Amino acid sequence: MPKKRLFIGTLTFVSGLEAVREVIDSLGITGKWVERENIHFTYRFLGDVDEEKIPSIASMLKGKLRGVRAPLVEYKGLGVFPSLRSPRVLWVGMNSEALYEVKRKVDMALLPFGFPLEERFTPHLTLLRIKKLRHQTKFKNYLFKMREHLFERKLEAKVCLIESKLTPQGPIYSVLEEILLD
């Protein structure tokens, strides 16, 4: 049975990211930047899904998201996962109560397909997978300075079922289904 590696999310872009990259590069931090066209946030990672289930999942998502309002998202602050002591991922934070309602509907749509409800949801935009950190103190100071920085506030009206093909050069994303919120 052929499978596709899937996630449900929104491809987006936020102004001001070029300036972040310039500062990070000037600090001698190296790693793999997420390509502009691949910047997204994830409602739910599904992993490998049987191809024959994809139309049913798309249909269920459309049904559960009908009439749901598009969340107004505030892209604010920079942070790292898993910790400041050992940063591996640089991200932009997201604030939006309405985002959690969309997430709840996505989870409800997936229940019939054997995906349990997720307890944790930390919406963010991954910018960089950090490989080497030279100036830890300067990096921490920059993160501290940027923790309340407002990048952009905008409506995110699309929820997409996205295929992720992994390649040595990085992932290639293909939108299989796009659902527009109200």
Q: Which of 76, 124, 133, 142 is catalytic?
A: 124
- Catalytic, 40? Answer yes
Q: Which of 4, 40, 64, 105 is catalytic?
A: 40
Distance of alpha carbon 18 from alpha carbon 70, whole angstroms: 26
- Catalytic, 124? Answer yes
| Residues recognised as catalytic | 40, 124
